[in-house]
Amino acid sequence: MRKIVSGSLLIAIATVFVMAQGPSNAAAAPAGPAAATASPAPGALPAMGKPLTIDFSIPLKPWKQADLKLSMFQKRPALIFYFSPTCGHCRHTYPHIQALQKQYESKGMAFVAIISGTASNDDIIDFDSEFKLTLPAFRDQDKVFTTKYGTGSVPLILLLDPKGAYRIWNGSDDATLKSLDAAIKTALKLP
C-alpha cells in the first residue's frame, strides 16, 4: 500500500510540475534525445545542422556490384532508401519502394539502397533472398551516411533533386508512401 501511495504522490507532483511549466516554457526547453529522434514530417527538409545536399563522395561499400559508386546517381532525380534488413517497418516499406522503382525508373528516377552499418552479412543475405534486393545497394559500414544524414530511425527515404538537395520521408504508413509518390511525380513533372 505504501508503494502505491508513494507512486501516486510522485505522479501527482510530476503532473503539477508539468502543468506549472506551461506551454511557453515547454516550447523553449532544450531539445533532448527524444527531440533528436523524432520523425520528420513527410517530405521535410533536412534538420537543422544537417547538410542541405548529399555528398556523393561518401565512402560506401557496394553490396553486389564492385564498380558501384554513389556518384553514379548524381545530377538526376534519385530516391535513396536507407534501411536495416531486420527492421519490420523497413521490410514493410521495401516492396513499396520496389513498386515505385518499377513505375518511375524508366521515367528518369534513379533508385539506391543504403544498408545500415549495423546489419550483418547474414541479415542482408536473408533480406535479399526474401525480397530480391533489386535496387543498387551500398553498405554504410563505417556509419558515415547515417551520421551525416540520419534521423535516428529507419526506414529513411531521401528524395534528391538533380543538384543533390533532398527532402526526407521517415516511416512506412500509407500516408507517407502516398506523399512520396506525389513528390516523385512532381519531381519528374508527371501528371
- pLDDT of 40 > 80? The answer is no
- If asked whether residues 94 and 154 sit together in one domain, one would say yes
Mean pLDDT of 81-97: 95
Mean pLDDT of 157-168: 94
Per the structure, the complete domain to which residue 110 belongs is given by 39-187
- pLDDT of 16 > 80? The answer is no
Pick the more confident residue, 12 or 165: 165
CA dist 105 and 124 (Å) reads: 23
Domain count across the chain: 2
Q: Check residue 10 and give its pLDDT.
A: 36
- If asked whether residues 59 and 16 sit together in one domain, one would say no
- If asked whether residues 137 and 174 sit together in one domain, one would say yes
Q: Check residue 151 and give its pLDDT.
A: 86
Q: Pairing state of beta strands 78-83 and 110-115?
A: parallel
- If asked whether residues 50 and 136 sit together in one domain, one would say yes
C-alpha cell at 21: 511549466
- If asked whether residues 102 and 135 sit together in one domain, one would say yes
- If asked whether residues 76 and 158 sit together in one domain, one would say yes
What residues form DSSP beta bridges with 62? 138
- If asked whether residues 67 and 10 sit together in one domain, one would say no
Q: How does residue 82 score in pLDDT terms, banded at 50, 70 and 90? A: very high
- pLDDT of 36 > 70? The answer is no
Pick the more confident residue, 49 or 122: 122
- If asked whether residues 177 and 97 sit together in one domain, one would say yes
Mean pLDDT of 39-60: 82
- If asked whether residues 23 and 45 sit together in one domain, one would say no
CA dist 83 and 116 (Å) reads: 6
Mean pLDDT of 50-66: 90
Question: By percentage, how much of the chain surpasses pLDDT 90?
Answer: 63
Least confident of 35-44, 61-70, 92-101: 35-44
pTM for the full model? 0.77
Q: Check residue 171 and give its pLDDT.
A: 78
Give the H/E segment covering residue 187: helix 174-187
CA dist 45 and 100 (Å) reads: 21
- If asked whether residues 70 and 47 sit together in one domain, one would say yes
- If asked whether residues 46 and 25 sit together in one domain, one would say no
Pick the more confident residue, 50 or 1: 50
Q: In 3D, which of 34, 35, 52, 79 has the Cα closest to residue 179?
A: 79
